[in-house]
Amino acid sequence: MRLKDKVALITGGSHGIGRAVSLRFAREGAKVAIADNEAEALEEINALLRAEGAEVLGVVTDVQSKSQVDTMIDKVTAQWGKLDIVVNNAGICKPSAFLEIMEEDWDRHLNVNLKGAFLVSQRAARDMVHQGTGGSIIQMSSVNGLAAESDQAHYNASKGGLNLLMMSMALELAEYGIRVNSLCPGFIETRLTKPLIENPQAIGTYVKTIPMRRVGQPEDIADAALFMASDESRYMTGHCLVIDGGQLIKLS
C-alpha cells in the first residue's frame, strides 16, 4: 500500500474528483479525513469507507471560514496525531460571460477556490512544520489556470491564482520537506459538467477539442493525486501536472 500509515485530508471530498481521491487514498492505506459542506454526502462516503475497513473521519466544513478550517484540522490531529497529506479539492464553477459576472459570483469563486485553499494550506503547513516530518500539499487547479476559456473569467482567475500560490508555497516550504504541487484537470465527468455531458450535441462538439476524444473520469485525477501524495514524487515540488487528454495543446 502506497500510503500506509499516512494521514490525508481531502476537502470537497464527497463528490466527483474529491470522492475518487478519498476512495483511492483510503484503499492505499491512508487514514482519510474528508471535509465537505454537505453533511449527507459526507456521511454516505464515510459509511462506504468504514464498511471497507478504512479509518475515516468526516468533518462538515466551509473552507471560506478560518475558524472552521482551524476546527477541521484540530479534529484531524486530535484523531490521529499528525497530518501528512492535504488535497485542496473544494471548489466551484459557475460559467458566466465576463460582462455579466455579478460581484457576488466573483467573490464566491475567489473565496472558495483560492482563499479556501490558502486558509487550509497555511494552517496545514504550520502543523507540518511543527511535526518536522515534511508532507505533501496538492492544489486541485485546472487547465483553466494555465489557459483562458470563455465564460470563465472568475474561475480562470481563481485557478491561475491557485497555481501561483502553489509555486510560492513550494519556494518557502521546501526547506521543511513539504512538497507543494498542482493538479490541472481538463474536462472531467462530475456533477458540475453533467449538464453539458447530458446534451448530446454539445458534448459531441466539445469532445472534438480533446485529442484523446473522451471525457476524463474522476479516477484519472485520483491516480495522479496518489502519485503526488506518495514518495514516488519525492523530488517534485512547484509543478503543475496536467491531466486533460491533450486538451491544453489546443487551448494553447
Cell numbers standing for residue 210:
480533446
Q: What is the largest CA-CA distance in the chain?
A: 53
Q: Identify the residue whose cell numbers are 500506509.
A: 4
Count other C-beta atoms under 10 Å from residue 95's C-beta: 15
Give the three cell numbers for residue 141. Answer: 487547479
Nearest C-alpha neighbor of 222 from the set 24, 26, 88: 24
Q: What is the spatial distance between Cα 3 and Cα 6, in angstroms, rounded to a whole number?
A: 5
Q: Which amino acid is at 232?
A: E
- Cell digits of residue 241: 501536472
Q: Name the grid cell of 162.
A: 491557485
Q: Which three cell numbers stand for residue 8?
A: 490525508
**For the chain, where are the alpha helices, taking DSSP H only?**
16-27, 39-51, 66-80, 103-109, 116-131, 153-173, 194-197, 200-207, 218-229, 247-251
Helix (H) or strand (E) holding 28: none
Three-state DSSP state, 52: coil
Shortest CA distance to 36 belongs to which of 16, 14, 54, 52?
14
Nearest to 228 by CA among 144, 186, 170: 170
The answer to whether residue 155 is catalytic is yes
Choice among 155, 176, 206, 235 that is catalytic: 155
The catalytic residues are 155
